[in-house]
């Protein structure tokens, strides 16, 4: 009965994490221009479909290679469920869930890392090179990085802690987004005469819906990472997740209002996401007060990071670098500052993990994207960017009354 309860909870959480891909899609298209809507939706659909297939073929066994305590292991191609002596699925695989549920839950996480990059490079990346990047990054890079902690690798043995992926998912995607934005360059019209110009998104209500969907999906993202239906741990995790999100939103809107003298909804929304990313590494370790403090600090970091990214002339249309990279680093380090694991030694473990993932992800994403840039190119032409990727790359528009010269 316990296995049944745990497995049902894990499957519900899997569905919630899957639902997050709709949230990412809504957020990205809402914060960008309507002439690129089809392109963004196509990328997000591609990521979840190909991500699951790649995770089945190679990713799952790269990330969980079995007897492993190092940097790289591989248990073989495809899925090979453990069977009992009667040839049926071995239900003693895990006390919390079956083998199949384990694969599907982890597969949903794998696709999320590439979705983070999708938002950062919106409106000017060629679709073909982006798809190649996704195949390599989701199929190989993310599983290897994940194995270092969740696959019982060297960082796990060291003592590094990341409950649900502030670093393993969000920073892994965030580092790649940083490299991609740098190599691509800014959108036409973003920076002019030394000034930062605002390129407005075409549907802020849709972006708002996306954030609320992501918040809901995070209950599965963090709640499922308990890896069972344990009442105490799951309920605590959902409480800390919600409080950090709320505190991140409020912190971001207050600080941005004081700094810019207006009530910026998009900053409020990204503050919520920053709080969610910040709590993810230690959601099971924090008290409610800890969660609020982590969220408030994450909200402040969002405002500062967005300003810094603009100052560096990096163009991130949806704030993905600020949310997923900066707050991912903060959430990971916060495990050594707040909660049950707080200590100087733990902080050093967390710092080591942040550094290790930074080096690995920066190097691999640079090699992949720089190679693509020098061979087939990664940026669309000026005409395609000005007229919109929907018409040029897809031959269709998201809205029936839209014309390509309306941009």
Helix axis angle for 204-223 and 2-30, nearest 10°, is: 160
Whole-number pLDDT of residue 184: 97
Tell me which long-range contacts 385-393 makes (C-beta under 8 A, separation of at least 24): 385/123, 385/124, 385/187, 385/188, 386/188, 387/35, 388/33, 388/35, 388/36, 389/35, 389/36, 389/38, 389/39, 389/123, 389/127, 390/35, 390/36, 390/37, 390/38, 390/39, 391/35, 393/39, 393/126, 393/127
* Residue 196: strand pairing partners: 191
pLDDT tens profile 316-332:
999 999 999 999 999 99
Q: Is the pLDDT of residue 406 over 80?
A: no
307 assigned to some structural domain: yes
Q: Is the pLDDT of residue 252 over 70?
A: yes
pLDDT tens profile 41-77:
999 999 999 999 999 999 999 999 987 778 999 988 9
Residues 6+ apart with CB under 8 A from 27: 119, 207, 210, 211, 214, 269, 318
pLDDT tens profile 370-403:
999 999 999 999 999 999 999 999 999 998 765 5
C-alpha atoms less than 13 angstroms from C-alpha of 332 in its C-beta half-sphere: 30
In which band, very low, low, confident or very high, does the pLDDT at 80 lie, cut at 50, 70 and 90? confident
- Which two three-digit tokens encode residue 360? 């690995």
pTM summary value: 0.94
159 assigned to some structural domain: yes
* Average pLDDT of every residue of the chain: 93
Whole-number pLDDT of residue 286: 98
In which band, very low, low, confident or very high, does the pLDDT at 93 lie, cut at 50, 70 and 90? low
Whole-number pLDDT of residue 75: 86
In which band, very low, low, confident or very high, does the pLDDT at 336 lie, cut at 50, 70 and 90? very high
In which band, very low, low, confident or very high, does the pLDDT at 139 lie, cut at 50, 70 and 90? very high
Q: Is the pLDDT of residue 86 over 80?
A: no
Whole-number pLDDT of residue 246: 98
Handedness of CA 384, 387, 389, 390 (dihedral sign): negative
pLDDT tens profile 181-211:
999 999 999 999 889 999 999 999 999 999 9
400 assigned to some structural domain: no
- Which two three-digit tokens encode residue 24? 């990412």
354 assigned to some structural domain: yes
Whole-number pLDDT of residue 166: 97
Whole-number pLDDT of residue 115: 93
406 assigned to some structural domain: no
Residue 221 CB neighbour total at 10 angstroms: 26
Whole-number pLDDT of residue 403: 57
Whole-number pLDDT of residue 87: 62
For residue 167, the enclosing domain spans: 2-394
399 assigned to some structural domain: no
pLDDT tens profile 265-318:
999 999 999 999 999 999 999 999 999 999 999 999 999 999 999 999 999 999
3-state secondary structure of 103: helix
Query: How many domains are there within the chain?
Result: 1
Q: Is the pLDDT of residue 142 over 80?
A: yes
Find the mean pLDDT for residues 142-165.
96
In which band, very low, low, confident or very high, does the pLDDT at 89 lie, cut at 50, 70 and 90? low
Whole-number pLDDT of residue 82: 72
407 assigned to some structural domain: no
Residue 318 CB neighbour total at 10 angstroms: 30
Q: Is 226 exposed, middle or buried (0-12, 13-18, 19+ CB in 10 A)?
A: buried
Helix (H) or strand (E) holding 344: helix 344-375
Contact 226, 10 (CB under 8 A): no
374 assigned to some structural domain: yes
> Domain of 319: which CATH number?
1.10.3430.10
Contact 187, 199 (CB under 8 A): yes
């Amino acid at each position: 009965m316990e296995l049944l309860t745990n497995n049902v909870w894990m499957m519900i959480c899997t569905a919630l994490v899957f639902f997050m891909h709709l949230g990412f899609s809504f957020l990205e298209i809402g914060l960008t221009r309507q002439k690129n809507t089809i392109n963004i939706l196509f990328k997000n659909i591609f990521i979840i479909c190909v991500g699951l297939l790649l995770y089945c073929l190679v990713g799952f066994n790269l990330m969980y290679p079995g007897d492993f305590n190092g940097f790289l292991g591989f248990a073989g191609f495809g899925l090979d469920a453990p069977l009992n002596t009667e040839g049926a699925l071995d239900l003693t695989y895990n006390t919390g869930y079956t083998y199949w549920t384990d694969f599907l839950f982890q597969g949903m996480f794998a696709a999320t890392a590439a979705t983070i990059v999708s938002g950062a490079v919106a409106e000017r990346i060629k679709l073909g090179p982006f798809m190649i990047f996704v195949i390599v990054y989701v199929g190989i890079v993310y599983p290897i990085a994940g194995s270092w902690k969740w696959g019982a690798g060297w960082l796990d043995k060291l003592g590094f802690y990341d409950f649900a992926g502030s670093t393993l998912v969000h920073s892994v995607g965030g580092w790649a987004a940083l490299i991609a934005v740098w190599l691509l360059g800014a959108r036409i019209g973003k920076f002019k005469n030394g000034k930062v110009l605002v390129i407005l998104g075409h549907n802020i209500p849709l972006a708002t819906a996306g954030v609320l969907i992501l918040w809901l999906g995070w209950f599965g993202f963090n709640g499922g990472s308990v890896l069972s239906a344990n009442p105490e741990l799951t309920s605590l995790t959902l409480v800390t997740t919600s409080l950090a999100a709320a505190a991140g939103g409020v912190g971001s809107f207050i600080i941005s209002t004081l700094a810019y003298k207006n009530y910026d909804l998009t900053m409020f929304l990204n503050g919520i996401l920053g709080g969610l990313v910040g709590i993810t590494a230690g959601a099971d370790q924090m008290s409610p007060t800890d969660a609020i403090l982590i969220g408030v600090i994450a909200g402040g970091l969002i405002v500062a990071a967005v300003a810094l990214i603009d100052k560096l002339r990096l163009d991130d249309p949806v704030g993905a670098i600020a949310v997923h990279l900066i707050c991912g680093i903060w959430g990971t380090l916060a495990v050594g500052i707040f909660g049950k694991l707080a200590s100087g030694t733990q902080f050093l473990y967390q710092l080591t993990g942040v550094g290790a993932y930074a080096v690995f992800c920066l190097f691999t994403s640079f090699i992949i994207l720089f190679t693509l840039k020098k061979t087939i190119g990664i940026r669309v032409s000026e005409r395609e960017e000005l007229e919109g990727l929907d018409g040029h790359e897809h031959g269709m528009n998201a809205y029936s009354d839209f014309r390509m010269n309306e941009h």
